[in-house]
Structure formats: C-alpha cells, structure tokens
Amino acid sequence: MHIDVQFFPFPPSPHLLSDRTVVVIDILRATSVMVYAMSQGAKEIIPVKTVEEAFQLAKTFPRSTTLLGGEKESNRIEGFDLENSPREYTSERVEGKRLILTTTNGTRAFHAVSSAAEILVGSFFNVTATAQRCLEGERDLLLFPSGDEGGFSLEDAVCGGMLIDRIIKRVKKPVALTDTSHSAHILFQRFEANLVEAFYLSRHGKELVDRGHGDDLPYCAQVDIINLVPVFKEGVIK
C-alpha cells in the first residue's frame, strides 16, 4: 500500500486519482461539520463552490427539507440557515435534512478530486473509522488536506498524519510512505499528546479565535467520537 499526502490543495493529476482512495481533510471546519452532521442524521450533504451556487441549487429542492450552511472568509453568510461550526449541526436541526454547504477551502477540495476511485470525508471525529475503511478498500491512498486559502494547513497535515499512524499500526502488508506522508506522520507524533496545540499555532486556527469561533478548536480536536465515514460520490456526500 502506498500513502501520499498532497500538502497543497491543487487539483492532483487525474492519473494520480483514478485507482486511489482519496481522503479529504478540512479540520477547521468543513469536514468536521460534514462528519458531525451525518452522525446527527442529515440525509445528505451537497458541497458547492460558491454562495451563488448554493442559493441556485436550494431553489430546486423543497425548502422544508433543505438547509443552507457554510461560511465565507470565516464569516456568516446572509440568508443561510447555519454557519460553519459543527456544534450547530445537531440532530434537532439536521435530522432527515439535505444540507447544501459552501466553505472557503473544504467544499472546493471535493470537486478537485472528483475523479478518484473513492472519496472519503476525514476528520479527527472519525479518524479510526476512516483508517479502517481505507484498509478495507485496499487501494493506494492520497490524503488531501483542503488547506488554508491555497496554502499548507498544519492542522490538516496533523490529521493526515494521525490517519497514517492508525493505518500503519493495523495494516498487514508493507506501506510505502512519501516525503509528505512521512512528514505528516512526524507532525502528528509531535502533537499526539495535545492535538489542539497545533490548532492554536496554525494561521487559520488563530483567525477563528480572533473572529470569536475559538470554542470550535477544542471541539474539532475530539478523536473517534463518531464511527462513520461519509462518502462523496457524484456530487453528493452520504
């Protein structure tokens, strides 16, 4: 098994995707929101790239069963039902609902890797379940941190490293790591005893604190509180 991590959120070459499982990771906060919302009974999540696209798409569904969620530059979007904090996506609000979600980095990442053999939604919430699913798939892996506005994101790399750690401790066959996957694993080991420390060092973590979303940092650092792995297929997460 070969595990690579793409440190920067550029669309990978299609030849890198066609026979691989891709895990999209956006800890602060898109994939944390997605995993949490699905665990609370959301019916499905449609990630879209822009606010305009979200409003357009919402018109095609019954309003009573559809919620608009997300953020733009870490801020609330006028006319949306929910922001981008997983804590908002409780069963009372999302159970049985279709969510249309748009965020700065995370929702774009799914479209960048849409030609992969399988696309999973990863986070600290479901890291062991995701590792298990990767092992069952038996494909080579590309971990795809959605990054920070086109750049490298420390907290996403640390989560990728934790996923690698879970996999190499369980896998029966040899695992080949690349320069980036070795590095992500080392970054995880550095923060293993205190994951949220990485969030407070990261640019995006600091920005969330500055904008009053500081409570989301320890919340999104919770490990293995959810035992499901949402899958992105044909534009929809289920």
List own/partner pairs for 199-202 with CB under 8 A and 24 or more apart.
199/27, 199/28, 199/155, 201/154, 202/28, 202/148, 202/153, 202/154, 202/155
Q: Which is nearer to a copy of itself, 162 or 226 (CB)?
A: 162
Least Å from the CB of residue 201 to a copy of itself: 5
Least Å from the CB of residue 175 to a copy of itself: 13
Q: Which is nearer to a copy of itself, 129 or 167 (CB)?
A: 167
**Separation of alpha carbons 186 and 48, rounded Å:** 33
List residues near a copy of itself by CB under 8 A.
7-8, 148, 151-154, 157, 177-180, 182-183, 186-187, 189-190, 201-203
How do 118-122 and 231-233 pair as beta strands?
antiparallel
Q: Which is nearer to a copy of itself, 55 or 152 (CB)?
A: 152
Least Å from the CB of residue 177 to a copy of itself: 8
Which 8-state DSSP code applies to residue 121? Answer: E
Least Å from the CB of residue 36 to a copy of itself: 24
Residue 181: closest CA among 168, 192, 194: 168
Q: Which is nearer to a copy of itself, 40 or 183 (CB)?
A: 183
